[in-house]
Structure 1
Amino acid sequence: MILDNYATHKTPDIKRWLLAHPRFHLHFTPTSASWLNLVERWFAELTQKKLKRGVHRSVQALERDIRAWLADWNEHPRPFVWTKTADEILDKVAAYCRRISDSGH
């Protein structure tokens, strides 16, 4: 399973469950790399294209907008397409790591 580094994925209960189900292995995305987690990317899409642009005068109005967004997304799914190669992404990460290690902090 691929997960983000959220603390709830590392609790004693989870560790016990994994011991009882040895065919499952956890692989964590790097910290500060939420763009690798497509579920988070999808929620960012919802936030940017619907929630930040909307005016919701009640919880019910907000819920209606979210449900309408879900219905439209499910009717016209739009897969996420990576636009950079793995090498381009790794080069950018390496440049970032060099930049922060040279920052003097």
Structure 2
Amino acid sequence: MGWTAGITSLFAAFNVADGTVIGELHRRHRAAEFKKFLIMIDMAVPAELEVHLICNTCGTHKAPAIKAWPARHRRFTPTGSSWVDQVERWSGFLADQLIRRGAHKSVQRLGADIRDWISQSNEDPKPFVWEKSAEEVLESLARHCRRISGAGH
């Protein structure tokens, strides 16, 4: 995930199994900084684990050097799935609990607050837990489709 606030860019990796986050702040949001973050993830995540990359639509992830990176690091798999919802929820918590509520008088203070927030979050991490089964979600979708089927959409 890449996220920018003013001139601070946060690259974050969310562990969906345990809720921990690896985060790195940069002044710029370019492919060079994102590649450094990928290297950081590669060093931090145990070698036997796969890493599924879910990137937003930012151009940083579309640079040739970044597109080629997973090919040289086979355990990194570009993917898309409902995991992106979990990443977005974490990002929303960060925005709601820190960014929108805070008064950050400098980029340095904002960066320090984000690092502290991530550190505190990692002290007692909580993975997001789906509260509905696949069957419940599909039934809800079917009810919605039945409701709107004749609505002229």
Question: Which structure 2 segments of 5+ residues have no match?
Answer: 1-51
Structure with the bigger percentage of helix: 1
> Partners of 2:100 and 2:106 in 1: how far apart?
15
Counterpart CA distance in 1 for 2:75 and 2:115 is: 36
What are the Cα deviations for residues 7-40 of structure 1, in whole angstroms up to 9, with x where unaligned?
86xx6x54x78889999876533xxxxx642222
Q: Percent identical across equivalent pairs?
A: 36
2:92 counterpart residue number: 44
Q: 1:59 aligns with which of 101, 107, 131?
A: 107
Q: For residues 1-105 of structure 1, what are the structure 2 equivalents within 5 Å?
A: 1=52, 3=54, 6=57, 13=64, 14=67, 27-29=79-81, 36-37=83-84, 38-94=86-142, 95=144, 99=148, 102-104=151-153
Query: What SS class does the counterpart of residue 97 from structure 2 fall into?
Result: helix
Q: CA deviation at 1:73?
A: 1.0
Aligned residues of 1:2 and 1:27 also touching (Cα < 8 A):
yes
Count, aligned residues: 98
- Of the two structures, which has the highest relative contact order with CA contacts closer than 8 Å and spacing of 6 or more? 2
Q: How does the TM-score come out when normalised to structure 2? A: 0.44
TM-score by length of 1: 0.59
Q: What RMSD, in angstroms, separates the aligned Cα atoms of the two structures?
A: 4.0
Whole-angstrom distance in 1 between the partners of 2:83 and 2:149: 20
- Contact 1:18/1:24 (<8 A) preserved: yes
2:33 corresponds to: none
CA distance in 2 between counterparts of 1:70 and 1:46 reads: 9
